[in-house]
Amino acid sequence: MMQALLINKDEAGYTARLGQIEEAQLPEGDVLIKVDYSTLNYKDSLAITGASPVVRSFPMVPGIDLAGTVVKSDHTDFKVGEKVVLNGFGVGEGHWGGLAQMARVKGDWLVPLPSAFTAKQAMTIGTAGYTAMLCVMALEQHGVTPEKGEILVTGAAGGVGSVAISLLAKLGYNVVASSGRAEETDYLLSLGATKVMDRNELTEKGRPLAKERWAGAVDVAGSHTLANICASMKYGGAVAACGLAQGYDLPATVMPFILRGVTLAGIDSVYRPKADRIAAWNRLAQDLDLTHLEAIMTEITLAQALETAQYQIDGLTRGRFVVNVNT
């Protein structure tokens, strides 16, 4: 028997609870993993609270991330005892995820844990940090270099934003953090942001073209925020869009793209090809300031994940929540 968070939907309604499961109940897969740490992502909190129809089958163990040790393997790429990381692929939505002490998954979904990280550090990074790295790589691929000017990061106090600021600052970029919480200013400056701006400056309908300011941006908001960012990009600038915290709409015009050559790069982390995943994790091992991880991370238990989910939905949390599934 092992501990797990279990989500169910039946005649009694939608429930999320801490319970016991057996190995035989785990879904099909060719690799069995002893989970060391998982995380509480925004998507996990949507699943736990039922605030959005994230879960596609019931019962479900949430947790889109996990880091642990292979204990059984029928996959040629992974051996017993190897440390691995999993992000995405519908795990925690359609396939039982990482918020349990064991997980059985497809080996094609796994990547080796870089030797630079412990399992706990890897989950401090998690899907949010891995997505942030994909965003930074996209900006680089579109020619955004430090000397070209300021980089805007929205949702700055969240998981993606926190890691993006740390990465960009270490790489020499001048980072402006956009946040709705003034009390997080010192935290954001400690990660390497040079300025902090109120997110409300970007959330209302703006002009089709605004004064050129940003050389690049990492956006988790969408909606009017993303439209206003595009409108105020410098000529040839690029925006990496990876979220919809404000909304999934994009009330913009084509003007920034056809008059300033702006690039809007969409970042998918869920089904990213394995080669891209490995490249991103290798870059994280090279470019992330590991001294920032303790400030970014809060460790919680499986039971506390249930309690924390609503706070995360309400935007009252900071950084990353690492779940020690064995406490």
CA dist list (Å): 155 to 71, 189, 229, 308: 38, 14, 13, 18
Same domain, 25 and 106: yes
**pLDDT for 199 beyond 90:** yes
Same domain, 299 and 224: no
97 within a domain of the structure (yes/no): yes
Residue 234 sits in a domain of what CATH number? 3.40.50.720
Angle at 322 between CA 319 and CA 327, to 5 degrees: 150
Same domain, 87 and 193: no
Same domain, 27 and 131: no
The Cα–Cα gap between 322 and 119 comes to 10
pLDDT of amino acid 317: 87
Contact 290, 121 (CB under 8 A): yes
Same domain, 145 and 259: yes
Same domain, 236 and 141: yes
Same domain, 100 and 151: no
Contact 228, 206 (CB under 8 A): yes
Same domain, 43 and 139: no
Q: What is the mean pLDDT of residues 4-22?
A: 94
284 within a domain of the structure (yes/no): no
Q: Give the domain range for residue 228.
A: 126-266
283 within a domain of the structure (yes/no): no
Angle of helix 159-170 versus helix 274-287 axis, rounded to 10: 60
**pLDDT for 119 beyond 90:** yes
Two tokens, residue 295: 């400030």
Same domain, 73 and 182: no
278 within a domain of the structure (yes/no): no
Residue 26 sits in a domain of what CATH number? 3.90.180.10
Average pLDDT for the chain: 96
pLDDT of amino acid 11: 86
Same domain, 104 and 133: no
Q: What is the mean pLDDT of residues 180-205?
A: 97
Two tokens, residue 197: 């701006």
What is the count of structural domains for the chain? 2
pLDDT of amino acid 315: 83
Q: What is the mean pLDDT of residues 132-156?
A: 98
Angle of helix 42-49 versus helix 302-313 axis, rounded to 10: 100
Peptide bond into 59 cis (omega under 30): yes
The Cα–Cα gap between 201 and 228 comes to 9
Q: How confident is the model at residue 126 (pLDDT cuts 50, 70, 90)?
A: very high
pLDDT, one tens digit per residue, over 62-77 is 999 999 999 999 999 9
Q: How confident is the model at residue 309 (pLDDT cuts 50, 70, 90)?
A: very high
The Cα–Cα gap between 311 and 300 comes to 13
204 within a domain of the structure (yes/no): yes
pLDDT, one tens digit per residue, over 206-233 is 999 999 999 999 999 999 999 999 999 9
pLDDT, one tens digit per residue, over 34-60 is 999 999 999 999 999 999 899 999 999
Residue 24's region, left for phi above 0, alpha for psi from -120 to 50, else beta, is alpha
205 within a domain of the structure (yes/no): yes
Same domain, 196 and 159: yes
- Number of neighbouring beta carbons within 10 Å of residue 323: 28
Two tokens, residue 13: 């309604």
pLDDT of amino acid 12: 83
Q: What is the mean pLDDT of residues 105-119?
A: 97
CA dist list (Å): 265 to 143, 211, 230, 241: 12, 21, 11, 6
Largest CA distance in the chain: 61
288 within a domain of the structure (yes/no): no
Task: Give me the sheet containing 195-198, strands edge to edge.
Answer: 195-198, 174-179, 150-153, 214-219, 233-241, 263-266
233 within a domain of the structure (yes/no): yes
Same domain, 243 and 190: yes
pLDDT of amino acid 124: 97
